[in-house]
A and B are shown apart, each in its own frame.
Chain A
Amino acid sequence: MIKEVYIKTVDEICARLRSGAIDSTRSREITRGSVRLYENGKIGIAGALGTFDEEGLTQKAKERLDMGVVYTALPTAEKREEREDIATDMDAYDFLWEVEELLKEQNRQFPEYSFVHDIRYIYETHHLKNVIGLDLSHKTRYFEFYLTVKRKDSENVKDGTLSFKLPSFDKNAVIGALRTLCEGLSCASVVPEGKIPVLFFFDDFLYNRKLWETLNGISYGSGSSLFSGKMGEKVFSEELTLYQSRSRKDQFFDAFFDMEGITNPEDRCPLIENGILRMPFTDKMTAKRFFLPLTGAASAEYDSVPSIDYAHLAYRPSDYSLLELLRRSVSEGEGKALIVLQPTGGDYSADGHFSLRLQTGIWYDGERCDRPVQNITLTADMRKMLGDDWIGVPKQPLFNIPGLFGVCFWMTAQPRSPSK
């Protein structure tokens, strides 16, 4: 029998800003832990919220070994690493003072706008160890910004949202991003039609959904992925390199190891490299079941069985600015791409056709925003987006926020469909 212990603590303070003031503050102090036992291809897990009683949980986990939950993979052995990613020693009072300062600056600089922000100051510890030499621990402290912007005279509920994480409270970076956005939203809107360059935040959920599905090891292995059987083949644009990432460089601030204790060099695992499909993302059981490389994409709640889940995906930035990428892609054009700022839903058909409703987009040249776009539908074929319609990943992050890269494709804009 192999015993494994996982403990996670979260200590968080969140300030909610509304109508130019701090509306509320919330603190959370949560400890979650579990004991996992592995024996004869089965796993038993017992977890607890709050007090961690290892002996009691071990006893419960033993009882749960009899429940027949299959886990035939081997637990990770002989891997030790301790990491601290802590760039600030700010306490809760300092944090609230910084938030107040940000508020003052925002209210002074952008009186024509209203904002609703959630700003979180998070300290997390993760510790995964077992009796066969696994001992990984990570302490991480970071700030999470969820910023919502609206022109005061706008009839929209919100005109745009920006979401990102920073290792320290960089007020100037936040104000700079808001300024870029507000300057663009203050311009008269335009209505584009036809094929246009569209820039997604690299972690956009709607766009990434199909990528997750198609690169998921279960979809790939069971034959239902659009790219099943194409491992090792060049099926994407030459300039496309995509990682499964647990790196801060890619806006990932969680533990550097997955829930099965798997790590990757520089916290990244290439899934697509220079257009070649290297591997789908996998956890141990998926890799074993379908004879695929193991990438370390296991996720789990504190007390559940590790299994494959959405991997954090990140593109390798190119060596070119947005302007240069657009010039390389097409000889004519305005040298701007439309940022998907406020989507209101979208989806893929089973054969990879993507449709997105965009409430607000904004033209962006890599440094400045100008002219918003309201209420259009964008469509594209996923395979083309990653192939012929691929424009690239500008070397500069969006809004100058470290790690917040954009990915640019050609898509078709349809302001309004004809009546049938």
Chain B
Amino acid sequence: MEEVFQTRIAFSFGNVQEMLERRYIAAFIRVFDGVRWYYSATSSIDAIQEHINRLASIAAPSQGVTEHPVVRKLENHRENLLLFSGPESVSSRSIKEKYDLLSHYFPVIENYDHIRYWMAYYIDELRKKHFVSSKGANISFDYQKIGLHIGYEMSLNGNQVKDSFSYGTHAYRDIETQDRKFANTLNRSVDFLKRAKNIESGRYPVILSPFAAGIFAHESFGHLSESDTYQGDQALKERWVIGKQVAHKNLSIVDDGSILGMGYTPFDDEGTKSRKTYLIRDGVMVGRLHNAATAVDFNENLTGNARATSFEYEPIVRMTNTYIESGKKPLCLLIGEVDNGFLIETIKSGFGSTNFTISPAIAYRIRKGTIAEPVKISLLTGNAFETLFKIDGISDEVSLNENPFVSCTKRDQSMLPIDFGGPYVRISEIDVVG
């Protein structure tokens, strides 16, 4: 069962466009008969038993189902892990207070020239989950996020730039003023608008910011690590074996739902406790992400990655907080070693499968070891498996994106909260399309 409280405030064209507060309780039920799962979602809590009965009537009777490997694999925790109740709950704050938090930034943006239009959003969400199973699991936990987002479009002499400023945290006590960071973002956009140059498409060395590196980790290898991607696919199973060198030896990628990022998942939606899972360690594939069915299929341990976007969907294998571990080089050295390449500061979107693409928003030329003019790049793209071997430099500090407006889509489940991050990462050569 999930009990959800959400707020959304939208402001544009000088007016409040939305002041939404939403509360609901709903449930997802599943039954396993040893052959397949039968799922049901309902917005009527009173009907849970009715749904269980109906699913049971469709499923085949199975006396030995409790000994089925998938059922045996499921963990059986009894724990209460509510972090955001009482005054820390966003549901205890007035919508007026939330609006004031957002409107604090309006004078900042209103002082800028070249802005065609802007829109500001405040969101928060408190999601309490209560998980019980016929094996005896009984878990309560919660997740909370608070976020501000101001998106804007600037134009000057036919040039345009779309950019945004976002800020996220988990509790009101942690909220910090972002005036300076917001102003820096706006100044960066103005600079981009005035000075950005076109580039010639080609293969270049590229340095990804922690934000861009996180997207790269998520898209290039994260999705490939979701074991349901190739469950039942012998060709891919043979290719992606544990112990295989899949990346440059300096690269390690981790997924960890237990840390309080935007992908915080203390227990997954099968009741498995979250843990730190190395996907790549020193360039070697050492793990992948599982739900109970895939863990049995691959004969590997659970990882706590069975996640559903909401009560309407079944848990499938998803990432949580995915990041690249730090390296040893300071950023200045990473940049200093590039003769002709690019620094990707922010991105608009990313997609991944066998190939991946990243669409940069703000990027800069690196010329003879120095950051030069901003540049317009429409796409970075490459084969995920080849590119992982081309990471030849990693900086020494890691940060998570912590943007509650970023989410992940897989199959029919969109808007799943995730987080990603890393250090600055240098790729020796990648296709850059201008």
> Interface on A for B, CB 8 Å cutoff?
14, 18-19, 21-32, 45, 47-51, 64, 67-70, 114, 118, 146, 150, 152-158, 218, 222-224, 289, 303-305, 307, 342-351, 353-357, 359, 375, 377, 379, 414, 416-420
A101 to B349, CA, bound (A): 40
A349 to B412, CA, bound (A): 28
A327 to B42, CA, bound (A): 54
Task: Give 15 CB contacts A-B under 8 Å.
Answer: A26-B41, A50-B24, A50-B43, A64-B19, A118-B412, A152-B235, A153-B235, A157-B229, A223-B155, A224-B117, A224-B155, A348-B378, A354-B378, A379-B201, A420-B202
Chain A contacts for B162, CB-based, 8 A: 350
Given contacts A25-B39, A345-B356, A350-B159, contact A222 B117 (CB under 8 A): yes
Given contacts A18-B232, A118-B412, A347-B359, contact A25 B36 (CB under 8 A): yes
Given contacts A69-B19, A305-B17, A350-B376, contact A24 B39 (CB under 8 A): yes
Closest A residue by C-beta to B199: A420
Given contacts A50-B43, A67-B16, A357-B355, contact A377 B312 (CB under 8 A): no
Q: Say which residue of A30, A222, A348, A418 sits within 8 Å of B43 (CB atoms).
A: A30
Chain B contacts for A23, CB-based, 8 A: 36-37
The answer to whether A156 touches B42, judged by C-beta atoms less than 8 angstroms apart, is: no
Closest B residue by C-beta to A31: B43
A4 to B41, CA, bound (A): 28
Given contacts A114-B233, A157-B229, contact A418 B203 (CB under 8 A): yes
The answer to whether B16 touches A68, judged by C-beta atoms less than 8 angstroms apart, is: yes
Chain A contacts for B391, CB-based, 8 A: none
Chain A contacts for B43, CB-based, 8 A: 29-32, 49-50
Chain A contacts for B412, CB-based, 8 A: 14, 118, 146
A23 to B411, CA, bound (A): 15
Q: Say which residue of B229, B354, B379, B431 sits within 8 Å of A346 (CB atoms).
A: B379
Chain A contacts for B356, CB-based, 8 A: 344-345
Main secondary structure on A side of the interface with B: strand
Closest A residue by C-beta to B18: A305
Chain B contacts for A414, CB-based, 8 A: 201, 433
CB distance from B357 to the nearest CB of A (A): 3
A70 to B14, CA, bound (A): 10
Q: Does B185 contact A (CB under 8 A)?
A: no
A349 to B161, CA, bound (A): 9
Q: Say which residue of A303, A348, A375 sits within 8 Å of B383 (CB atoms).
A: A375
The answer to whether A345 touches B239, judged by C-beta atoms less than 8 angstroms apart, is: no
Q: Which 10 A-B pairs have the closest CB atoms?
A: A345-B357, A345-B351, A347-B359, A19-B232, A26-B39, A50-B43, A70-B15, A350-B160, A420-B202, A49-B24
Q: Say which residue of B13, B44, B224 sits within 8 Å of A50 (CB atoms).
A: B44
The answer to whether A28 touches B354, judged by C-beta atoms less than 8 angstroms apart, is: no
The answer to whether B155 touches A69, judged by C-beta atoms less than 8 angstroms apart, is: no
Q: Does B249 contact A (CB under 8 A)?
A: no
CB distance from A181 to the nearest CB of B (A): 17
Chain B, interface size category, equals: 35 or more
Chain A contacts for B236, CB-based, 8 A: 155, 157
Chain B contacts for A152, CB-based, 8 A: 233-235
A190 to B321, CA, bound (A): 39
Q: Does B399 contact A (CB under 8 A)?
A: no
Closest B residue by C-beta to A218: B117
A172 to B314, CA, bound (A): 29
CB distance from A407 to the nearest CB of B (A): 20
Given contacts A18-B232, A67-B95, A157-B224, contact A26 B13 (CB under 8 A): no
Main secondary structure on B side of the interface with A: strand
CB distance from A146 to the nearest CB of B (A): 7
The answer to whether A417 touches B433, judged by C-beta atoms less than 8 angstroms apart, is: yes
Given contacts A23-B36, A152-B234, A419-B429, contact A344 B357 (CB under 8 A): yes
Q: Say which residue of B41, B158, B432 sits within 8 Å of A417 (CB atoms).
A: B432
Chain B contacts for A18, CB-based, 8 A: 231-232
The answer to whether B354 touches A157, judged by C-beta atoms less than 8 angstroms apart, is: yes
A307 to B26, CA, bound (A): 27
Instruction: Kindly supply a per-residue 1/0 record for chain B positions 117-158, scoring 1 wherever the CB is within 8 Å of any chain A CB and 0 otherwise.
Output: 100000000000000000000000000000000000101001
A22 to B8, CA, bound (A): 39
Q: Does B87 contact A (CB under 8 A)?
A: no
The answer to whether B203 touches A420, judged by C-beta atoms less than 8 angstroms apart, is: yes
Chain B contacts for A154, CB-based, 8 A: 235
Instruction: Kindly supply a per-residue 1/0 record for chain B positions 20-59, scoring 1 wherever the CB is within 8 Å of any chain A CB and 0 otherwise.
Output: 1010111000000000111111111100000000000010
The answer to whether B354 touches A359, judged by C-beta atoms less than 8 angstroms apart, is: yes
A14 to B224, CA, bound (A): 25
The answer to whether B116 touches A222, judged by C-beta atoms less than 8 angstroms apart, is: yes
Closest B residue by C-beta to A42: B16
Chain A contacts for B298, CB-based, 8 A: none
CB distance from A347 to the nearest CB of B (A): 4
Chain A contacts for B95, CB-based, 8 A: 67
The answer to whether A344 touches B354, judged by C-beta atoms less than 8 angstroms apart, is: yes
Given contacts A158-B353, A303-B20, A344-B354, contact A30 B41 (CB under 8 A): yes
Closest B residue by C-beta to A303: B22
Instruction: Kindly supply a per-residue 1/0 record for chain B positions 177-212, scoring 1 wherever the CB is within 8 Å of any chain A CB and 0 otherwise.
Output: 000000000000000000000001111100000000
Chain B contacts for A156, CB-based, 8 A: 353-354
Closest B residue by C-beta to A148: B411
The answer to whether A224 touches B116, judged by C-beta atoms less than 8 angstroms apart, is: yes
A21 to B233, CA, bound (A): 14
Closest A residue by C-beta to B411: A118
Chain B contacts for A155, CB-based, 8 A: 235-236, 239, 354
Given contacts A304-B8, A418-B202, contact A346 B159 (CB under 8 A): no
Chain A contacts for B376, CB-based, 8 A: 349-351
The answer to whether B40 touches A70, judged by C-beta atoms less than 8 angstroms apart, is: no
A344 to B359, CA, bound (A): 12
A19 to B228, CA, bound (A): 12
The answer to whether A417 touches B235, judged by C-beta atoms less than 8 angstroms apart, is: no
Chain A contacts for B38, CB-based, 8 A: 24-26
A146 to B239, CA, bound (A): 26
Closest B residue by C-beta to A9: B43
- Given contacts A29-B43, A343-B351, A350-B159, 13 further A-B pairs with CB under 8 A are A21-B36, A23-B36, A27-B41, A29-B44, A70-B16, A114-B232, A304-B18, A305-B18, A345-B359, A354-B378, A356-B379, A377-B379, A417-B433
Q: Does B434 contact A (CB under 8 A)?
A: yes
The answer to whether A419 touches B232, judged by C-beta atoms less than 8 angstroms apart, is: no
The answer to whether B40 touches A27, judged by C-beta atoms less than 8 angstroms apart, is: yes
Q: Does B348 contact A (CB under 8 A)?
A: yes
CB distance from A97 to the nearest CB of B (A): 13
Given contacts A48-B24, A307-B17, contact A157 B230 (CB under 8 A): yes
CB distance from B193 to the nearest CB of A (A): 9
A177 to B278, CA, bound (A): 41
CB distance from A352 to the nearest CB of B (A): 10
Chain A contacts for B350, CB-based, 8 A: 345
The answer to whether B351 touches A344, judged by C-beta atoms less than 8 angstroms apart, is: yes
Closest B residue by C-beta to A360: B354
Closest A residue by C-beta to B340: A420
Closest B residue by C-beta to A420: B202
A153 to B411, CA, bound (A): 23
Closest A residue by C-beta to B432: A417
Chain A contacts for B383, CB-based, 8 A: 375
